[in-house]
Amino acid sequence: MESPQTIQTDQAPSPTGPFVQARRVGNLLFIAGQRGIDPDSGELVEKTIEARARRTFENLKAIAEAAGGSLATFVSTVVYVKDMDAHRPVINRLYEEYFGPNLPTRTIVEVSRLNQDDIVEIEAVVMIPGAET
């Protein structure tokens, strides 16, 4: 069995704590929770669910691509939002926009607080095509 490999790209923000962007084991990539942080500035983008969620999806995409995956190879996500009623419709629309016909499974959970009082965070599992299991 191979050892887990750390995946890091400057196309997504550096972790804000003692963790890595992603770890790959065989053909599976586990992406740590991503938020609406601009990778260039290290700052949160505009505080709207549209802007934060779009930046979050872009960060997830960048990490998956750095490991050899793509939006088409996402297997599963967990989405954390601060306001289910206000945020879920936007997440649904962006989910369809980003993943198209390759929708991964999803759990969406309303939480009372996220780091930096953020409003959305998404973690993911991605299959890496061609990687050995």
What is the predicted pLDDT for the residue at 131? 53
What is the percentage of the chain residues whose pLDDT exceeds 90? Answer: 94
CB 122 within 8 A of CB 34: yes
98-109 pLDDT, tens per residue? 999 999 999 999
Residue 132 domain-assigned? no
Residue 133 domain-assigned? no
Residue 43 domain-assigned? yes
pLDDT band, very low/low/confident/very high, at 16 (cuts 50, 70, 90):
confident
Give the domain extent around 90.
Answer: 5-127
Mean pLDDT of all residues in 107-128: 97
Find all residues with CB under 8 Å of 81, minimum gap 6, and list them.
Answer: 49, 87, 88, 91, 108, 109, 110, 111, 119, 120
The rounded distance, in Å, linking the Cα atoms of 130 and 77 is: 21
pLDDT band, very low/low/confident/very high, at 133 (cuts 50, 70, 90):
very low
Residue 90 domain-assigned? yes
Find all residues with CB under 8 Å of 15, minimum gap 6, and list them.
Answer: 21, 32
Give the DSSP letter string of 44-89. Answer: B--SSHHHHHHHHHHHHHHHHHHTT--GGGEEEEEEEES-HHHHHH
Q: Quick one: which of 57, 72, 49 has its CA closest to 128?
A: 72
CATH (domain of 98):
3.30.1330.40
Whole-prediction pTM: 0.95
Residue 36 domain-assigned? yes
What is the predicted pLDDT for the residue at 103? 97
pLDDT band, very low/low/confident/very high, at 30 (cuts 50, 70, 90):
very high
Residue 105 domain-assigned? yes
What is the predicted pLDDT for the residue at 90? 98
37-73 pLDDT, tens per residue? 999 999 999 999 999 999 999 999 999 999 999 999 9
Q: How many domains does the chain have?
A: 1
What is the predicted pLDDT for the residue at 2? 78
Residue 46 domain-assigned? yes
Residue 47 domain-assigned? yes
